[in-house]
Every structure is written in structure tokens, then in C-alpha cells.
A = this chain, B = another copy of it.
Amino acid sequence: MQKTLSLFSFLFAACCTVQLYAGTPVQISSPGAQTRLSVDQSPSGTISYQVSFKNRPAVLPSTLGLQLKEPAVSLNSFDIIKIDSGLVDENWKPVWGEYGQIRNHAKTLSLQLVSRNEQKIRINLLFRIYEEGIAFRYQFPEQPGLQHFILGDELSTFGMSGDHKAFWIPGDYDTNEYPYNESKLSAIDATVGQRSTEIAVRSIIAPNAVQTPLMMKSSDGLYINIHEASLRNYPAMNLMLDKKSMQFKSVLVPDAVGNKAYLQAPAQSPWRSIIIADNGADILRSSMILNLNDAPAAGLDFSFVKPQKMVGVWWEMHVGKASWDYSGGQVGSQQQSRVPHGANNQNVRRYIDFASKYGFDGVLVEGWNTGWEDWFGKWKEDVFDFLTPYPDYDLNALSAYARQKNVRLIMHHETSGSVTNYERYMDRAYDLMNRHQMNTVKTGYVGRIIPRGEHHDGQWMVRHYERVAEATAKKGIMIDVHEPVRPTGLHRSFPNWLASEAARGNEFNAWSVGNAPDHETILPFTRLMGGPMDYTPGIFKIKMSHYNPAKTEQVHTTLCKQLALYITMYSPLQMAADLPENYEARPDAFQFIRDVAVDWDDTKILDAEPGDYVYIARREKGGRRWFAGGITDEQARNFILNTRFLEPGQQYLATIYRDAPGAHWKDNPEAYVIEKFIVNNRSALNLKLAAGGGFAISMVPATGDDLKQYKAYKQK
């Protein structure tokens, strides 16, 4: 590393051109000095940055820049007009989240640059230096020479210091639903994605391209996570690896004609985030992505937003018991078998009764509306109207029945990727929801996008997701978006955006090769870095042979791991995804799903290693109950859970749901044991996780009765 120069020696008036000379970069450290950023300018005007973490190199010198297409200008060589630094330190309370309060604490560095060419285009390069990493973004200030412009490329690079281990999925313009790969960077081969024929639409970019959030681990134990924050009015970023230099370059998702973004100054890119730690748990502890997003816009009122649990007419389609379409031909695997239409009055009443009896907030009903008979894979524009129920679905009666039972129907808007069509009907569809007091909608984008040539992760669709978030916010509606671009913390700005899918969900287990046992240990380090996922946990009947003896598919899990996911896969919208009869057959295990909170005042990442295990404890929002969950990959493990997070002096009744001896995700997945203990903040629970297994624990301040019963039990 070069020697440190005081930043403040570089503060000049705005009118001056500042030259940084090679060997004398600007260096700035995080408030606690753990992370250090260095920004340098070459004699030719190229700007580069590098990052160290606890004095170990995390990002090697990496150049920054942009290429404009209209006007055609290269922005890769600059004069520096001004350098400024500062400090952000604020506490804010999310509407919902893993923590009741979040501290945003970072040094800031901004460089005002002007391009070294005749166009003299001004851009600002903003950095934030957090304890756990850095972020940067490009800003295009208002200026006479740049009003509307088309971005041809972003030239951000990320130089890795070695051939790290990486948890990656193929770079793709349309889908995030690949299984994860764990390999050295040098072994990345995104063409494996071509095998994932179970994904409706794939647009693999190149063999060396991967998606963010990209989780890496260096051979000397640095954990590095690259992603982006506040992706608005801009395409998503993929990363292209140069295997010789081990440097990534940004690859933005193009539009139908190959352009990347249509911008109007003032404009800005999302933040590019690099989170760094020397252990896995610290990666999961980071709130950097949220901190890089904006607070909700002043005019929007999110007081209606409420984290929730739901059941739904949904898994029965995936397991092939029921159909989305009225004629009975559409099941999860898209096979043309004939099964009953799931969204019929009688069946929906059954779910409403179930939800009401067990205290769920909502009942999702998919397949309620016309269009499913011809919705899949046709690139058909006029497919759904989001207004017309099938004849066996009495929307008026059912929504009245739900209200009477103190449950809300959750609306479903599958667009089939025909977004022009959805935008024509959106307003009316939300009005219909308002009339029926339905305040949550699950949207879906399965299929090639219309406008044809646009991609799920391009600027046009990014704007669409924002538009939906804003339109629903104004109508008092919460959203759960399936098949969108990967989240980047926008739920801070739109707290009605409860969750997204944007990754390979539990459903793949029902009708494809599914998700390997390590899948859920990787997701928190990748997809979930950007925001909550509607993963749909809680499957109790693990093997599909239960429904059809000919089927070999299964969820790659034990039953207890399914319970643990309610803790390890953070979301303010959680589904109890299995069928009512499967829960009623195991009321003792089901009790955990009934009990578990969906909003938290505090979260403890107890231990975590991507691809191996995740152990987390959380305290419910506004309450004293703690819940803990742990999952493992295909390896059986022991974990000693120290409950030092509990309130000192308080006794808790801990109910432990754990894999039974002999349990195994493949051979014996549904075997579990439930035990109760009295614990306090000095307890240590020795937990055994089966291969592909997990545990879940609820810890409730103990009553006198609890203590008496426990004493009696211990004496036996």
C-alpha cells in the first residue's frame, strides 16, 4: 500500500483542477479504521480505487468509468475539479426489519470530475467507506452539455487479489433462479446454466459472467460480497470475470436495441457495494445495502404496512394435486395432466377456515382469474385481465367470508411477462383489491418480457417494478414480487414491498432436480443481501412420492430445517407453504410456524459459513420472545447455542424442534423431536443437525407454571 496522505490536503475550490499524481492517492478509512479506501489518478487521467480490510488487500487497484452512446463520449479519463469528504452518522428505524434501529455510519468521499475530451462532461464519483466495506456510485449533475443521454456501458472494475472461492450463478438478463455453484473463480463456467431447462426464460450472458450478490472467500479468509444498492431507473449489473487478472467488469443488462440506460441529468447509477469481513457472520450482519438506499419519499404513507404470515392455494398446484387453470391442465411442472382447479370456492373456504383457526393473516389464491388456460411460454400479450374470476371462484362471497373470519385474501397477479398488458390493467386491478379490502398482492413475471426484446433485469423493467411499488403504495397495498430483478434494498424506500422471489425458491423442489441441501446456506450470503425473499418454507411432506408414487422429486431438507428457515431466511412475509392436511397431521411441529414472529427488534447472527451452515437468533418486534434457527448443508453438524443474548436474569421456556436421531434429508427427512427446557442467558444448548437438517427454537419468558412443570419434568 502507498503511504497515507491526509485527504484534507486535497480540498480545493470548485474552480480548480486537481491532479492526483501516481503514488500519492487519496486515502480514507472507515470511522473505526477497519476498511480503507484509496483512490488514485494515473497521468493519463484514469481514476482507480482499491480497498483494504484490516490491512489486507480486498480490492486491488481497479479503474472506473463509463461509456456514453448518445452522445458518443468515453468517460474514462478525467481532470479532478474537487475532492470532498465527510461523515454520515445517523440512526433510523425501519418500518419492519431484522433490527428495530439501524445505524448508518460511514465516511464519505466525493470527486467532481470532468472528462478529458472536448465534451468536458462532468460526473461525480461518490464513495462511502463503512466499517464493513465500501460503496461507490456515479452521478451526472445537471450541466449544459449533457441533458438526455444514452448509456452504452459502465466500466466499473473489481480487482480480486486471488483465485477466491465463489458462490455464483450464471450472469443472465432474465432470471435469478439458477442453483448456486461453488467453485474457484478460475473454474467459473456459466454455461452450466444451459442445463437448467426447468427455468422458463434464460438469457445467459457469457461463460465468464456471474450475477450479484456475488459471495467470495479468499484463501486467507477474507469474505467479500459484491452487489449493488438502490437500483432505480438503471439496468441491473452482472460481473464479467477476466480470469487472467481476476478482475471483474460490470456488465449492464441491455434493452431491446442494445442500449443500457436512458438517462436525463441529474441522474445517478446505483451504488456498487463491496462488503468485506473476516468471518461469514459479519457479512450477514451488514446493513450497508439498506443504508445505501433512500428513506421513503415524503409523500407516501406506509402506516398500513404490516408483516404477515400466509397460507395459500399454491403448493397443491406444485405437487400436481390441483391446477391453476379451470380446465385442470396447468400444474407446477407444466405437464398436461388433468387435475381439479385449485381456486374453487370450496377449497378456498377450506384455506380461509384453516388460516382463521391457526392465526394466519392471509390466504394467497393463485389461479383465481381467467387466462391460465393459455398463459405459459407463448409470448402472448393479451393474456390476463386481473379482473375476471373463473366461474367457480366467487370473489365477492369469498372475500366477504374471509373478512368474517378475520383473514384477508391475498391477490395474485401473474403477468406471464406481458408487462405492457399488466400496465394497462394495473389501476383497475388495484381498485378491485381495494373494493374487496385485499391489501397484499403477489405479482409474477414468468415468461419472456413484453415489450419484446426487453429483459426482466433491464432498465425498463426496473422502472416497472418501481412503478408497481409506488402505485400499490398509493393504494395501500403490499407487494410480493416473483421473478423480478434481484433486490437491492429498495424495501427501505418502499416498505410496502415486503418481499421478492428473484432466486430459486422452494417450489423447484416439487418438480425439478430442486435445490441442493446447501442452497439455503448460500442464499443469505447472496440473494438475501438485497432484501427479503418469499422462499415459501414449511414443507412437512418432503417427498413428492407422497402425492404420486411414480415421483422421485423431494425437498432437500429435513422437516426441522423447514422450520429453521423461518428464522434463517429473513422475510416480513412468510408462507406456511404446505397443505393444511399436512400441518394438521403434525400439530406439534406446526406450532412453531404458528408461534414464530415475522418482524424483529434484534437479530444475532450466531455463526454462518456460506455453503455450510447458518445459525441465527432473533427477538420479536415489540416483545420479549426470542426465536432461533439453524440449518446445515449435506453435512450433519453439532452446534452449541449460547443463549447469552437473552435478557439477564430472565428464565425462558425454550421449545426445541430438532432432527430426530437417524433423520436425514434423503432417507428419513420427516423425523423430528420436540423438547422443552427452561433456559436463561447463561445456557448452552447442544444441538445436532442431521445431514440436510436444522433446528428451530422458541424462547418465551417462562411463567410460574412453566417453571413448575419443568421442575417436575426434570425430577422424573
Residue positions of A touching B, CB distance < 8 A: 147-148, 150, 255-257, 259, 262, 264, 378-381, 420, 423-424, 427, 451-454, 460, 463
Contacts beyond the supplied A262-B381, A381-B463, A420-B423: 7 A-B pairs with Cβ under 8 Å: A148-B378, A150-B379, A256-B257, A256-B454, A451-B451, A451-B453, A451-B460
Among A255, A264, A381, A420, chain B packs the most CB atoms within 10 A around the CB of A420
- 8 example contacts (A-B, Cβ-Cβ < 8 A) are as follows A147-B378, A148-B379, A255-B453, A256-B452, A262-B381, A423-B423, A423-B424, A451-B453
Bound: A284/B148 CA distance, A: 46
Do A380 and B453 touch (CB < 8 A)? no
With A256-B256, A256-B257, A420-B420 already in contact, the answer to whether A262 and B379 are too (CB < 8 A) is yes
Name the residue on B nearest A70 (C-beta). Answer: B379
Do B379 and A452 touch (CB < 8 A)? no
Residue numbers in B under 8 Å from A424 (CB-CB) = 423-424
Min CB distance, A145 to chain B, in Å? Answer: 15
Q: Which 10 A-B pairs have the closest CB atoms?
A: A451-B451, A256-B453, A256-B256, A148-B378, A257-B453, A453-B453, A256-B452, A257-B452, A423-B424, A255-B452
Residue numbers in B under 8 Å from A147 (CB-CB) = 378
Bound: A451/B455 CA distance, A: 12
Bound: A27/B292 CA distance, A: 75
Min CB distance, A213 to chain B, in Å? Answer: 29
Bound: A454/B257 CA distance, A: 9
Name the residue on B nearest A380 (C-beta). Answer: B148
Bound: A380/B70 CA distance, A: 13
Name the residue on B nearest A448 (C-beta). Answer: B257
Min CB distance, A415 to chain B, in Å? Answer: 14
Residue numbers in B under 8 Å from A463 (CB-CB) = 381
Bound: A423/B454 CA distance, A: 17
Min CB distance, A156 to chain B, in Å? Answer: 24
Bound: A379/B148 CA distance, A: 9
Residue numbers in B under 8 Å from A423 (CB-CB) = 420, 423-424
Residue numbers in B under 8 Å from A378 (CB-CB) = 147-148, 264
Do B262 and A380 touch (CB < 8 A)? yes
Name the residue on B nearest A453 (C-beta). Answer: B256
Bound: A453/B423 CA distance, A: 19
Bound: A424/B467 CA distance, A: 11
Bound: A427/B429 CA distance, A: 14
Name the residue on B nearest A463 (C-beta). Answer: B381
Bound: A255/B380 CA distance, A: 14
Name A264's contact: one of B256, B380, B452 (CB within 8 Å). Answer: B380
Bound: A148/B420 CA distance, A: 19
Among A255, A256, A427, chain B packs the most CB atoms within 10 A around the CB of A256
